[in-house]
Amino acid sequence: MVLVRIICPFWENKAATDEVFTLLDSEDAESIARAKEALTASELETQLHYIDSNFRALPDKIELLQRQNTLLIEAVETVEEFG
């Protein structure tokens, strides 16, 4: 779920992230080169949009389900809201 919490803000600020990476030199580190390559992948935007659209609420729903003293009806409603 940590990944979902990272991806959603990244997706919202993708233009700013792209701008920052244009300032970095790929020759400085292999990780920069690999990140730039990943950011330019043609399917990245589609995948980020899919994750954001379908899983953004998942971490919060899991936290609700993990709370103690939650009534069964509340847990069922939480699952139904997500599904």
pLDDT confidence of residue 40: 87
pLDDT of residue 29: 93
What is the structure's pLDDT at 26? Answer: 92
CA-CA distances (angstroms) from residue 9 to 1, 5, 14, 15, 43? 13, 7, 8, 11, 18
């609700």: which residue's tokens?
64
Q: Which of 56, 40, 53, 54 is nearest to 6 (CA)?
A: 56
What residues does each domain of the chain span? 2-82
User: Which H/E stretch holds residue 42?
Assistant: none
Asked if residue 63 lies in contact with residue 49, where contact means CB atoms within 8 angstroms, the answer is: no
The pLDDT, as a whole number, for residue 9 is 83
* Per-residue confidence (pLDDT) for residue 12, from 0 to 100: 83
The model's pLDDT over 6-49, given as tens digits with 9 standing for 90+, comes to 788 877 888 888 888 889 999 999 999 998 998 888 898 899 88
Q: How many CB atoms lie within 10 A of CB 8?
A: 18
- Give the pLDDT score at 1: 66
